[in-house]
Amino acid sequence: MVIGLACDGSASPVAHGGAEAVGLLGYNPSDGVYSGTMGVLMGSVGGASNNARYIYGTEILSSDPHFKPTSAVEASLGPEIPYMGGLEFGGGSFKSCDEVGFNIHGGGSLIGEHGAIGFGFGQRF
């Protein structure tokens, strides 16, 4: 799965939150290529690049057109300038009502705006 996101949130170097729109593109053996969208809320502790965050939201996939709750826990590390932004590289785990997995990502932020791309690998149950 490829994950791309854009979000809006605060630029505080201690704790911040935001809302994200996440585009999904993936492949699985039973459905082939699929796409999807996630709308999520995020809370983070740490700086723009060095942080831990919890993400909760809803996803819908072209291969399964039902809204499903999803959550993730992630951590990132990278160079940053407090209140300005930085680069980040990290990973975490995710869970929905029928899948669990992990992801890796890289991205950056500048004055409260953030963008990233990542790859997730999951197992349906």
Q: What digits encode the pLDDT tens for the residues 17-74?
A: 888 888 899 888 888 999 999 999 999 898 878 899 999 999 999 988 899 999 999 9
* E strand intervals along 1-125: 2-9, 15-28, 32-46, 51-61, 64-77, 80-81, 85-96, 99-110, 113-124
Hey, where are the domains in the chain?
2-124
Encoded amino acid at 103, one letter = N
pTM of the complete model? 0.79
Backbone angles phi, psi at 50, to 5 degrees: -100, 95
